[in-house]
Amino acid sequence: MDIIQIVTLGIIASILYIVLKDLHGPFAFVIILVTGLIILLVVMKQLGSIIQLIESLGEKAAIDGMYINTILKIIGIAYLTELGANITKDAGLGAVAAKIELAGKIFILLLAIPIITAVIESILNFLPST
Amino acid sequence: MQMDASILFQIAGIGIIVALIHTILKQMGKEEIAQFATLVGFIIVLVIVINGLSDLFQQIRSVFLLQG
C-alpha cells in the first residue's frame, strides 16, 4: 500500500517542519521541497503504466501519434509548472510563482499550435468557398 | 539513490546539528565561524536536494516524452 507510506511521509515531514521552523529557517524549507519531490517521484513511477495504457489505446483507435505525444507533453509541462509554482509560493515568492504559471500556460499554448491549426483548417474545409 | 523517509530524517538531522553548532559557536563569540558552519551545512543539504531534483526531472522527462 503505497498510499499509507505517502500519508505517513507527509505527517513525518510536517512534524520535522514544525521542529525545524524555529530552530533554523532554511532547512525547514528544504524539508518541504524534499517531501514534495519524493511524493511526486513515487507518483511518476506509477504514472508510467497509465501513460502506456493511453498510448496503446491510441494505437488501437488509430489516432495520429503526434496528437497523443502533444497531449502527454502538455500534461508533463502542467505537472512541472505546478511543482515549481507551489515551491516558490511556499518560499513566499507569490509573484515569481505567478510568472512560472504564466510561462507554463504560454508553453502549453505553443505546443498546441499544430492541433489548433489542424482544427481551423478542417473547419475552413467545411465552409463553402466564396 | 533510495528515496524514502530516511532522506527526510537525514536533512532534519543535519539541520538540528547545524543549528546546535551555530548556537554554540555564537555563545563562544566566534560569529564568522558560526556563519561559515551554517553555510557548509546548507551546501551539504543542497547537494542532496539537487540529486533528488535531477532524479525527478529525468523521470518526468522519460514519462512524458519531453526530449526537446
Query: Per-residue pLDDT tens for B9-54?
Result: 888 888 888 888 888 888 888 888 888 888 888 898 889 889 888 9
Please tell me whether residues A87 and A25 are part of one structural domain.
Answer: no
- A103: Cβ–Cβ under 8 A, 6 or more apart, which residues? A81
Quick one: chain B helix, strand, coil %, rounded to 5?
Answer: 80, 0, 20
Over residues A115-121, the mean pLDDT reads 90
Half-sphere exposure of A61 (CA within 13 A, CB side): 11
Residue B68 in domain: no
Query: Per-residue pLDDT tens for A26-59?
Result: 888 888 888 888 888 888 888 888 888 888 888 8
End of a domain among A44, A61, A78? A61
Interface ipTM: 0.73
What average pLDDT is seen over chain A?
87
**Distance (Å, rounded) from C-alpha A84 to C-alpha A70?**
21
Can you give the residue range of the structural domain that contains A34?
1-61
- Exposed, middle or buried by CB within 10 Å (0-12, 13-18, 19+), for A74? middle
Please tell me whether residues A55 and A71 are part of one structural domain.
Answer: no
Q: How many domains does chain A have?
A: 2
Please tell me whether residues A27 and A5 are part of one structural domain.
Answer: yes
**DSSP state, A129?**
P
What pLDDT score was predicted for residue A19? 83
User: Torsions phi, psi of A34, nearest 5?
Assistant: -65, -35
The answer on pLDDT for A23 being more than 80 is no
Which residue of B lies nearest to A17 if distances are taken between CA atoms? B12
The answer on pLDDT for B1 being more than 50 is no
Q: What residues of A are in contact with residue B57 (Cβ under 8 Å)?
A: 80
The CA angle A70-A103-B65, to the nearest 5 degrees, is: 30
Residue B16 in domain: yes
Please tell me whether residues A111 and A75 are part of one structural domain.
Answer: yes
Please tell me whether residues A69 and A87 are part of one structural domain.
Answer: yes
Packing angle, helices B5-27 and B31-63, rounded to 10:
160
Please tell me whether residues A46 and A76 are part of one structural domain.
Answer: no
Can you give the residue range of the structural domain that contains B34?
5-63
**Distance (Å, rounded) from C-alpha B42 to C-alpha A105?**
33
The answer on pLDDT for B2 being more than 70 is no
Please tell me whether residues A56 and A96 are part of one structural domain.
Answer: no
Which residue of A lies nearest to B3 if distances are taken between CA atoms? A38
Residue B25 in domain: yes
Contact B63/A51, CB-based, under 8 Å? yes
Q: What residues of B are in contact with residue A45 (Cβ under 8 Å)?
A: 59
CA-based nearest distance B51→chain A, Å: 10
Please tell me whether residues A95 and A50 are part of one structural domain.
Answer: no
Query: Per-residue pLDDT tens for A90-109?
Result: 888 899 999 999 999 999 99
End of a domain among A29, A61, A93? A61
The answer on pLDDT for A87 being more than 80 is yes
Q: Evaluate whether A28 touches A9 at the Cβ level (below 8 Å).
A: no
Q: Could you tell me the pTM of the whole model?
A: 0.76
CA-based nearest distance A122→chain B, Å: 27
Please tell me whether residues A21 and A52 are part of one structural domain.
Answer: yes
The three-class DSSP label of residue A128 is coil
Contact A34/B14, CB-based, under 8 Å? no
Over residues A116-120, the mean pLDDT reads 90
